[in-house]
Structure 1
């Protein structure tokens, strides 16, 4: 070990030890990151947060600003949009939104896909998910310097069903499904091209459809999309292994991962536990990215406002009306996410799940109990990191 490095670490260790002995003299991060009674940071937290300057002073670490990184949120469609609803995004340094129109399947084994590109009078659906709503929202966002990732989803009918359940019974049904899915995606590819959307996500968590047996079908679809749409392409793979089974990443621009990695089974875990929980995931992602040679975007990542937010981040919070909110745990989960991942060279950006335009501070209690960081401690953490 070079003597200069040993000297740097030795001096940093001395300063850290002194700070810990002083007890309340140092405050790490923001007050909501500490649990009740935790006023003294750990050595690990201090070393992660501070660096020793050449003059021997302890200074806070900052990551150099990268204007190309995607600082995004998942935008929830509504029946209108105004410039005033975009203002909080700019305040929080958010530069991208993901818009999510839907196609519907009656059953996970049914190959038919229904589209609803317009919202006829008297029919269910949101204007913001219609073609007209998507286009208007993207244009207004672009006027304010905000890019759009068009991210069509499939909604599978049935309680508890999700796109990962889609699985055809026969090869013939798979051929029919891919033909229908191609019509679905090419419609949005043409819309994205005609209206200059900055990015297009060609699928989300289609676990069985992306198995290696279907590689040829995906490459054929991507080739057709490339002829129509000339912007950046990604696919949003489930965190739990789907991204590793996909064999068509080389045909896309970014690897998209729905980054709901479990971090801790404990209720209201402290920050150091959450940071430790990230380590195996970060190491696995780094090793895998060296093979794929593609930058990674967390196409979704977020945490509930509940004590168990870190245990199964992908689960929708049940009994939201009766669950006591835990903003401090949600904020610590955000801090751990950005500390562990934001400075990684392989990470191109993140899309936080999720953002309700126009949500008031005293608005729907149901919304305030779910994933959104709006008007919560987590929003300040998000803004701080997106500013870097």
Structure 2
């Protein structure tokens, strides 16, 4: 049987009298000064922070399903469907797969390739045609698309394709002939396997100077006759993207976005955000002239205190024993997404880089490598890619 209700005028004074002392206690109790957060706590806070775009009402922009949420995939000796599952957890929707061509030196026009080799001296199985195609076939049913991004590796004292620079017109002609054969092979592979994007070159800074515009336009026409999907080129952040004259012949502007953000070690988030502003202002003004959407074809940060100073520099393997700075890496990721992810001209990005089957105690987890895997930066990535 339900008891009768007590009239409000009879019970509320007693309730107030019971609650009032508790209210007074919590209101007037002594406040303790907040203790400074340690780096692990700070990194975890960044990983769990809500998206600022949700606060600004810009979720519709960020949740655009066509935005490229990518990682740069490291090809190995094998691949299984299970190795793709962590990507789904992090809301990754694109892989950049990178086959290699090889030059003996920066002035040697001959290019060697890894077209059919399953493994061996010139590459891993995951970088061969068979490995790339198989990886893409496993990824596609999971909703993960493929950007094929061929890359030239320079042997000898140089390892950066931006150093490639022929010493004569004849050598340039030979180089372009070799590069045409190299990239048309991958255009045919991309067409046969229905890859969703093709990057026609990476950081070939001297080869993309205005003097070579005609050669690139002729090459792009040949590529389009073979491959019928979207095309981009991955230009270095430091000047190369501005010198290129053939952007109008491509679908996206690709930028290797290793912009320096701060010279100080362990920079705070507000300093990193300020560091982005001059780069983004310059990009926005330039993009209005080009009128093409931009993709960050590579972007990432080492797990080091100076990760924001020269993001393009590879960490020294000999420094692996030094303490890693996961909080700085996580702050760099947070600044990247806060500053860039909602920009209307940015089509997406590919995080450098992702190792299949990397375990929490794996070598790339322990040293200063770029990967966000098993670090607070991965949670930051997942939160933003999930928007």
TM-score calculated relative to the size of structure 1? 0.85
CA apart distance, 1:50: 7.8
Distance 1:90 1:238, change over 3 A: same
Secondary structure of 2:319's aligned partner: coil
Aligned residue pair count? 348
2:166 maps to what in 1?
168
CA distance in 2, matches of 1:122, 1:222: 31
1:272 maps to what in 2?
270
CA apart distance, 1:33: 4.7
1:99 maps to what in 2?
97
CA apart distance, 1:263: 0.2
Counterpart contact for 1:321–1:365, Cα < 8 Å = no
CA apart distance, 1:122: 5.5
Secondary structure of 2:348's aligned partner: strand
Q: What is the alpha-carbon root mean square deviation over aligned residues?
A: 2.4
2:385 maps to what in 1?
386
What whole-Å deviation, never above 9, does each CA across 1:241-284 have from its counterpart, x for those lacking one? 10000000000000000000000000000000000000000100
Counterpart contact for 2:71–2:94, Cα < 8 Å = yes
Counterpart contact for 2:43–2:326, Cα < 8 Å = no
Q: 2:224 aligns with which of 216, 223, 226?
A: 226
Secondary structure of 2:321's aligned partner: coil
Counterpart contact for 2:77–2:119, Cα < 8 Å = no
What whole-Å deviation, never above 9, does each CA across 1:184-221 have from its counterpart, x for those lacking one? 00000000001100000000000000000000000000
Counterpart contact for 2:69–2:91, Cα < 8 Å = yes
Distance 1:331 1:204, change over 3 A: same
Structure 2 portions without partners, runs of 5+: 1-31
What whole-Å deviation, never above 9, does each CA across 1:19-74 have from its counterpart, x for those lacking one? xxx986xx9xx952599xx9xxxxxx99x9388xxxxxxx5755321100000000
Q: Which moved more, 1:160-169 or 1:375-384?
A: 160-169
1:1-388 matched pairs, under 5 angstroms: 31-33=41-43, 49=52, 59=55, 63-64=59-60, 65-119=63-117, 123-318=121-316, 319-364=318-363, 368-388=367-387
Q: Which moved more, 1:274-283 or 1:317-326?
A: 317-326
Counterpart contact for 2:110–2:175, Cα < 8 Å = yes
Distance 1:173 1:336, change over 3 A: same
Distance 1:106 1:387, change over 3 A: same
CA distance in 2, matches of 1:331, 1:136: 32
CA distance in 2, matches of 1:154, 1:385: 31
Counterpart contact for 1:320–1:366, Cα < 8 Å = no
1:15 maps to what in 2?
none
Give 1 or 2 for the bigger CA radius of gyration: 2
CA distance in 1, matches of 2:233, 2:119: 33
CA distance in 1, matches of 2:33, 2:385: 30
1:19 maps to what in 2?
none
CA apart distance, 1:117: 1.2
Distance 1:100 1:365, change over 3 A: closer
CA apart distance, 1:159: 3.2
CA distance in 2, matches of 1:367, 1:170: 46
Distance 1:178 1:83, change over 3 A: same
Higher RCO (Cα < 8 Å, 6 or more apart): 2
CA distance in 1, matches of 2:362, 2:372: 13
Counterpart contact for 1:164–1:207, Cα < 8 Å = yes
